[in-house]
C-alpha cells in the first residue's frame, strides 16, 4: 500500500487558508464528507447543506493516489468550495487529516464513543457508518478530538514506546520469579528485588537438571534485555527533552510533589497544549476524573469517576496523588527537584502541597476509603497542573516553530 509522508503534503495558499478559517467560524461549507476509514479502504458519503439524505460516493483504496482523485472529484462537483471532512479516531492515525488540510479543506477527527447512535438500529455496515458520519457532521453532533502536530505526536510515540517496554520488563520479571518459586527458591520479602545482590543470588541458584539451568539463563537474559531497552528509552527521552518546545513546562511541573520529570513528560505528551482547556474543570473531565451522575427529577445519584478520556494521563495523576498522604513539608529532596522551576511554579506547587496534604487527611477522617481519597486528590492535582501550565506554556508561534 502506498504510504503518505509529510513531505508529500500540498500546502494550501494563504487565501485558501483564510477562506477555511472564515467558513469554519461561520459554520458554512460546500458539503460535509463522512469517511469510514480502514487500513485498506475508505468508504465515502457526502451530505449536502440542508436536510437531504447523505449520498453514497463509493469505496476507494486507502492510498495517496486514490485520495487525490477523490478530492479532485469533490472539487469539481462542489465548484472548489471548502469542504468539511470527518473520520473516526483509530489506528490509522492522523496522516489523512493532515493530507486533507493540505488540500485547503477542513477536517475533523471525531471521538468514536461520542457518535450519536439509535438504540433500535441493529444494522451496521461501512456505507451506513459513512452516511451517519456525514449527516451527524452536518448537524454538528460530532465531538472533534485534539490532533497533535508532528512534534507532539513524536513525543507521544516515544513515551508510549517506553510504557510498552516497561510492561515487557515487568512481564519478564514475573516469568523469572514464577520459575524460581516453582523450584523451591524464595528471595526474602523484606529485601529489595532486582538489585545487584538479587541478581547475584539468582545467578548462584542450582537446579537438579542441567536443562532447568538453561531455562534459568534464558529468563535472566530476557530480564536483562528488557531492562536495557527501558534504560535506552530513558536516555532518549532525556535527549528529546532538551529539544522539545514544552521543556520549560516539564521543568515547571516537576515542582509539584509526586511528579518527576518522566511523569511530567508523559502528561504533556498525552495532553499537549493545556491552553486548549478553558478551565481546570474541563481538564478534569477530559481525564475522566469527575464523578459520573444519573439524575432525574428530584433524584440525584453520583457514582464512580467517568474514567473516560486519556487513561495514561489519569494514571500518572493518580500515582502522583499517593505522595500527598504525608504531611506538607519542604524537604531537601523537593527543593532540589524544584530548583529548575520558575518562582511562580514553585509558589503554586507549595500551595498545592498544603491544600492537598490537608485534604487527604480530612477525606480519610470523614470515612472515605484510601482509593476514593487518592482519586479525589488526583482530580484537584489536575487543576494545579493546569495552573502551572498556563504560566509557563510557550507562545503558540514559538511552539509551532
pLDDT in tens, 199-213: 999 999 999 999 999
Which grid cell is 312?
A: 495514561
Check pLDDT > 90 for residue 22.
Answer: no
- Nearest one of 284, 280, 281, 306 to 293, comparing CA atoms: 306
Question: Strand 41-47 and strand 32-37: pairing?
Answer: antiparallel
Question: Strand 106-110 and strand 41-47: pairing?
Answer: unpaired
Provide, rounded to the nearest whole percent, the portion of the chain with pLDDT above 90.
80
Residue 64: half-sphere exposure toward Cβ, Cα within 13 Å: 14
Indicate the DSSP class of residue 395: P
CATH architecture of 6-139: 2-Layer Sandwich (3.30)
User: Domain map of the chain by residue range?
Assistant: 6-139, 150-244, 248-400
Check pLDDT > 70 for residue 170.
Answer: yes
User: How far apart are alpha carbons 37 and 240 in whole angstroms?
Assistant: 32
In this structure, are residues 284 and 383 in contact, taking their beta carbons and an 8 Å threshold? yes
Q: Write out pLDDT tens, residues 30-51.
A: 999 999 999 999 999 999 999 9
Backbone angles phi, psi at 305, to 5 degrees: -65, 155
- Name the pLDDT band for 277 (thresholds 50, 70, 90): very high
Indicate the DSSP class of residue 144: B
Q: Exposure string (b/e) for 325-342, b if CB count within 10 Å is 16 or more?
A: eeebeeeeebeebbeebb
User: How far apart are alpha carbons 298 and 291 in whole angstroms?
Assistant: 18
Q: What is the pLDDT of residue 10?
A: 45
Which grid cell is 345?
A: 511554579
Non-local (6+) Cβ contacts of 330 within 8 A are 350
Check pLDDT > 70 for residue 16.
Answer: no
Non-local (6+) Cβ contacts of 373 within 8 A are 360, 363, 364
Check pLDDT > 50 for residue 5.
Answer: no
Q: Write out pLDDT tens, residues 86-95.
A: 999 999 999 9
Q: What is the pLDDT of residue 212?
A: 95
The CA distances from residue 220 to 101, 148, 177, 198, 213, in Å, are: 50, 39, 10, 12, 10
User: How far apart are alpha carbons 257 and 329 in whole angstroms?
Assistant: 10
Indicate the DSSP class of residue 325: G
Check pLDDT > 70 for residue 323.
Answer: yes
User: How far apart are alpha carbons 91 and 375 in whole angstroms?
Assistant: 30
Q: Write out pLDDT tens, residues 381-399.
A: 999 999 999 988 876 554 5
- Nearest one of 140, 274, 105, 19 to 97, comparing CA atoms: 105
The CA distances from residue 228 to 171, 173, 203, in Å, are: 14, 13, 18
Q: Is the pTM of this model over 0.75?
A: yes
Q: State which H helix or E strand residue 106 sits in.
A: strand 106-110
Which grid cell is 202?
A: 539468582
Check pLDDT > 60 for residue 71.
Answer: yes
In this structure, are residues 109 and 89 in contact, taking their beta carbons and an 8 Å threshold? yes
Amino acid at each position: 500500500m502506498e504510504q503518505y509522508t509529510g513531505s508529500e503534503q500540498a500546502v494550501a495558499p494563504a487565501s485558501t487558508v483564510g477562506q477555511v478559517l472564515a467558513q469554519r467560524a461561520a459554520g458554512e461549507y460546500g458539503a460535509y464528507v463522512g469517511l469510514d476509514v480502514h487500513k485498506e479502504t475508505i468508504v465515502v458519503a457526502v451530505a449536502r447543506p440542508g436536510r437531504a439524505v447523505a449520498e453514497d460516493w463509493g469505496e476507494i483504496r486507502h492510498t495517496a493516489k486514490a485520495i487525490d482523485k477523490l478530492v479532485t472529484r469533490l472539487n469539481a462537483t462542489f465548484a472548489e468550495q471548502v469542504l468539511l471532512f470527518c473520520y473516526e479516531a483509530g489506528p490509522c492515525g492522523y496522516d489523512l487529516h493532515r493530507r486533507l488540510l493540505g488540500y485547503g479543506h477542513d477536517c475533523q477527527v471525531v471521538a468514536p464513543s461520542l457518535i450519536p447512535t439509535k438504540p433500535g438500529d441493529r444494522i451496521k455496515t461501512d456505507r451506513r457508518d459513512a452516511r451517519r458520519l456525514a449527516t451527524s457532521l452536518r448537524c454538528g453532533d460530532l465531538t472533534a478530538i485534539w490532533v497533535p502536530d508532528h512534534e507532539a505526536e513524536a513525543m507521544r510515540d516515544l513515551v508510549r514506546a517506553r510504557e510498552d517496554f516497561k510492561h515487557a520488563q515487568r512481564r519478564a520479571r514475573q516469568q523469572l520469579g514464577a520459575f524460581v518459586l516453582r523450584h523451591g527458591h524464595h528471595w526474602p520479602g523484606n529485601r529489595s528485588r532486582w538489585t545487584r545482590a538479587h541478581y547475584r543470588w539468582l545467578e548462584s541458584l542450582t537446579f537438579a537438571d542441567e536443562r532447568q539451568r538453561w531455562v534459568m539463563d534464558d529468563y535472566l537474559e530476557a530480564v536483562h534485555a528488557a531492562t536495557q531497552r527501558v534504560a535506552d528509552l530513558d536516555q532518549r527521552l532525556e535527549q528529546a527533552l532538551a529539544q522539545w518546545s514544552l521543556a520549560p513546562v516539564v521543568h515547571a511541573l516537576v515542582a509539584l510533589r509526586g511528579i518527576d520529570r518522566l511523569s511530567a513528560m508523559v502528561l504533556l505528551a498525552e495532553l499537549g497544549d493545556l491552553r486548549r482547556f478553558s478551565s481546570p474543570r474541563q481538564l478534569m473531565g477530559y481525564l475522566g476524573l469527575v464523578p459520573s451522575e444519573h439524575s432525574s427529577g428530584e433524584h440525584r445519584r453520583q457514582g464512580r469517576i467517568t474514567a473516560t478520556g486519556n487513561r495514561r494521563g489519569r494514571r500518572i495523576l493518580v500515582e502522583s496523588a499517593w505522595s500527598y498522604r504525608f504531611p506538607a513539608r519542604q524537604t531537601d529532596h523537593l527543593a532540589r527537584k524544584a530548583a529548575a522551576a520558575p518562582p511562580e511554579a514553585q509558589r503554586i506547587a507549595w500551595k498545592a502541597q498544603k491544600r492537598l496534604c490537608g485534604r487527604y487527611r480530612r477525606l480519610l477522617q470523614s470515612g472515605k476509603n484510601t482509593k476514593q481519597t487518592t482519586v479525589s486528590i488526583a482530580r484537584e492535582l489536575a487543576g494545579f497542573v493546569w495552573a502551572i501550565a498556563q504560566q509557563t506554556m510557550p507562545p503558540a508561534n514559538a511552539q509551532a516553530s
